[in-house]
Chains A and B, each alone.
Chain A
Amino acid sequence: MTLTADDVKKIAHLARLGINQQNIASYTKDLSGMLQLMTQMSETNTDGVLPMAHPMDQTQRLRADEVTENNNRNNFQAIAPQIEDGLYLVPKVIE
């Protein structure tokens, strides 16, 4: 399995990742190399094997429904790139 430069551009857009035009070729090569590694997996029979999402065979703990967090807006917005009237500003959202 190898990727094309177009594939890489498509994936990069999905991930909203700006990539310089001149680097596309090297990403294409690296990703194709990684996919080459993956072929070993497809050669392995995994019929009847359950996918393992977590190392521990445990179930989710449930939290009590209590308000434990107070307003901390000033601290959180002190590290924000652009704010006004308590809102985070972004280029206009068009719906």
Chain B
Amino acid sequence: MGHHQEHEWETVIGLEIHTQLATQSKIFSGAATAYGAEPNTQACAVDLGLPGVLPVLNGQAVSMAVKFGLAIEAEIAPHSVFARKNYFYPDLPKGYQISQFELPIVGKGHLDIDVDGTTKRIGITRAHLEEDAGKSLHESFHGMSGIDLNRAGTPLLEIVSEPEMRSAKEAVAYMRKIHELVRYLGICDGNMQEGSFRCDANVSVRPKGQEEFGTRAEIKNINSFKFVEKAINHEVERQIELIENGGKVVQETRLYDANKDETRSMRSKEEANDYRYFPDPDLLPVHISEEFKEQIKGQLPELPDAKKLRFKGQYQLDDENAVILTASRQLADYFEALVKESTCEAKLCANWITGDLVAVLNKADLDITQSPVNYQRLAGLLLRISDDTISGKIAKQVFEAMWNSTATADDIIAEKGLKQITDTGAIEAIIDKIIADNPDQVEQYLSGKDKVFGFFVGQVMKDMQGKANPAEVNKMLKIKLK
């Protein structure tokens, strides 16, 4: 945005996030929701919209929506209503999508985001249940498109924010926060490649200080955090340029093209946007009782913000470690299990997870639940660091061996003879030998070149295959070199 007079413009962003709910079966049918099946093998008569078939609501989808609503401290509607949203599209088998319009299951709520060290509360307008559509495949079938309806009927929770974000950065922070939350709640797997978590962004700009909103464009189906930021920034730039050149933003749907890094108008979706919503007569109002709400409340896990705060207090973690460790419920659980199992200092546990473990997991594209080193084995390793059996440096070597095997830390230490040498006699003998072998360096050190001290440490450690207790080596060298 560099060349624009950006200080004159304010960006206004609202997000609509579609989360696929992690149910076994579809929202209105008993077909499976598993990803990646052969085309149309998970589309039953109800999903295909064959004549005469009827929808029956999946109770689990309702529970999950309520769970989300309670987590954002939203009003849960005692009565919510499913409505038909009418439009023709080949991936929409019935010619209408069953959604919620006037009476969504989750009403107003909110979520706090942290951007550049400050916390901002973002309002959530509503969250409603609806069914997903199928997919159109555009590979050439003699110039035709192929329709796969496996995804049709997968439950979605559409989470609509207030237009309260003022930068792409805030939008990304909000999206990440929702992503973290739905995974904490166990209501969505959050897999963005598979489309389980998607986002539409409503973007507009207005002169700073102006109260009323500018005309917004809706950017459809953005499926990564990186693209959200890029797509919004690009759209903001386009709108400012348009206005500054005397043009006008039109309300329309735009598609972000990640390859070209641009948004373009989707004219095909523009014509006749008259969805003719009305209550679906095949479904009755959904009643959420106080008891049901209480029951779901009892199932709520500790939420990310609360957990972060607790970690900082209980384990004396710094902000960075607390943020990383609470990024997913599974990682946080791993950490707490590790602390308990190892009885080591929490800080040591935290550093090992956020440093070594997360790095190799990322490299191997695994999440914590798939870690080859479980918390019990890692605890065994940390215990040996704590009791000075091995040094931190050797520990890294042991960890690598553990990653590639199922052996315990103790087995590896024993097998490879990595036990730290604290026997001062043995260390002393080596130090004497090194001093004798390197008279020049001794000379240099004694003449004031302090840096050469490191050379001696290195030589001793090398000679002892790193197994010498570094503190002991330091201490003795200092005495010998006086």
Assess the A60–B285 pair: CB atoms within 8 A. Answer: yes
Q: Does residue B146 face the partner (Cβ distance < 8 Å to A)?
A: yes
Report yes or no: A90 in contact with B90, Cβ–Cβ below 8 A: yes
The 6 closest A-B pairs by CB, nearest first: A87-B146, A62-B59, A68-B30, A65-B60, A69-B44, A59-B287
- From A53, A76, A95, contact of B40 by CB (8 A): A76
**Could you say which residues of chain A place their CB within 8 Å of the CB of B44?**
69, 72
- Distance (Å) between the CB of B76 and the closest chain A CB? 15
> Contact between A93 and B90 (Cβ–Cβ < 8 Å)?
yes
A85 to B145, CA, bound (A): 12
The proximity string for A residues 54-81 relative to B, scoring 1 for CB distances below 8 Å and 0 otherwise, is 1010111111111111011100110000
Give chain A residues whose Cβ lies under 8 Å from the Cβ of B62. 62
Q: Which residue of A lies closest to B45 (CB)?
A: A76
> What is the interface of chain A mostly: helix, strand, loop, or mixed?
loop
Other contacts beyond A53-B281, A67-B32, A73-B41: 11, CB < 8 A = A59-B284, A65-B58, A65-B59, A66-B30, A69-B29, A76-B43, A76-B48, A84-B141, A87-B146, A90-B136, A93-B136
Q: Which of A56, A61, A88 contacts B147 (CB 8 A)?
A: A88
Q: Report A-chain residues with C-beta under 8 Å of the C-beta of B59.
A: 62-65
B50, CB-defined interface residue at 8 Å: yes
Given A73-B41, A92-B143, verify A16-B88 contact (CB < 8 Å).
yes
Return chain A residues, CB-CB under 8 Å to B141: 84-85, 87, 89
Q: Does B25 contact A (CB under 8 A)?
A: yes
* Contact present for B145 and A92 (CB under 8 Å): yes
Query: Which residues in window 252-286 of B have CB below 8 A to A?
Result: 255, 266, 268-269, 272, 274, 276, 279, 281, 283-286
The chain A residue sitting closest to B34, CB to CB, is: A67
A56–B241 CA distance with the chains assembled, in angstroms: 56
What number of B residues sit within 8 Å (CB to CB) of A? 56
With known contacts A58-B284, A62-B59, A76-B43, A88–B279 Cβ distance under 8 A: no
The residue from A13, A69, A84, A94 contacting B30, defined by CB atoms under 8 A apart:
A69
Contacts of B31 in A (CB 8 A): 67, 69
In the assembled complex, A91 has its CB within 8 A of some CB on chain B: yes
Kindly provide the distance from the CB of B96 to the nearest chain A CB, expressed in whole angstroms: 12
Q: Which residues of B contact A62 (CB under 8 A)?
A: 57-59, 62
What residues on B are CB-neighbors of A77 within 8 Å?
Answer: 40
Q: Is B56 an interface position by the 8 A CB rule? A: yes
Which residues of A approach B to under 8 Å, CB–CB? 13-14, 16, 53-54, 56, 58-69, 71-73, 76-77, 82, 84-95
12 contacts between A and B (CB under 8 A): A56-B284, A59-B284, A60-B287, A65-B23, A66-B30, A69-B32, A69-B44, A76-B45, A76-B50, A87-B141, A88-B40, A94-B268
Flag if A71 contacts B42 (CB, 8 Å): yes
Q: How far is the CA of A61 from the CA of B281 in the complex (A)?
A: 14
Name the B residues within 8 Å of A91 (CB-CB). Answer: 144-145
- With the chains together, A91 CA to B57 CA distance in Å? 33
Question: B81 to chain A: closest CB distance in Å?
Answer: 8
Taking beta carbons and an 8 Å cutoff, which residues of B are in contact with A? Answer: 23-25, 29-32, 38-45, 48, 50, 56-62, 79, 81-82, 88-91, 136-138, 141, 143-149, 255, 266, 268-269, 272, 274, 276, 279, 281, 283-287
Question: Which chain A residue shows the least CB distance to B31?
Answer: A69
A24–B77 alpha-carbon span in the complex (Å): 45
- Give the Cβ gap from B36 to chain A, nearest Cβ, in Å: 14
* B150 CB, nearest partner CB in chain A, Å: 10
The reply to whether A86 and B41 contact each other, CB–CB distance below 8 Å, is: yes
Contacts of A72 in B (CB 8 A): 44-45
Assembly CA distance A88 to B272 (angstroms):
25
Known: A76-B43, A89-B145. A60 touches B57 (CB 8 A): yes
**Which of the residues B39, B88, B266, B286 comes within 8 Å of A60, measured between beta carbons?**
B286
Give the residue name and chain of the A residue nearest to B144 (CB): A89
Task: Tell me which residues across on chain B come within 8 A of A88, comparing CB atoms.
Answer: 40, 90, 146-147, 149
* A66 with B145: CB separation less than 8 A: no
Chain A residue numbers with a CB within 8 Å of B255 are: 95
B284 & A54 in contact (Cβ 8 Å cutoff) = yes
Query: What residues on A are CB-neighbors of B81 within 8 Å?
Result: 53
Give the CA-CA distance A26 to B56 in the complex, in Å.
40
Q: Do A89 and B25 touch across chains, with their CB atoms under 8 A apart?
A: no
- Chain A's closest residue to B272 (CB) is A14
* A72–B59 CA distance with the chains assembled, in angstroms: 24
Instruction: Decide: A67 and B30 in contact? CB cutoff 8 A.
Output: yes
CB-based contact B39/A13 at 8 Å: no
Q: How far is the CA of A77 from the CA of B45 in the complex (A)?
A: 11
Q: For B24, B43, B146, B266, which residue has the most chain A Cβ atoms within 10 angstroms?
A: B146
User: What chain B residues lie within 8 Å of A87 (beta carbons)?
Assistant: 39-40, 137, 141, 146-148
The chain B residue sitting closest to A86, CB to CB, is: B39
Bound: A56/B281 CA distance, A = 11
Question: CA separation between A73 and B272, bound complex, in Å?
Answer: 33
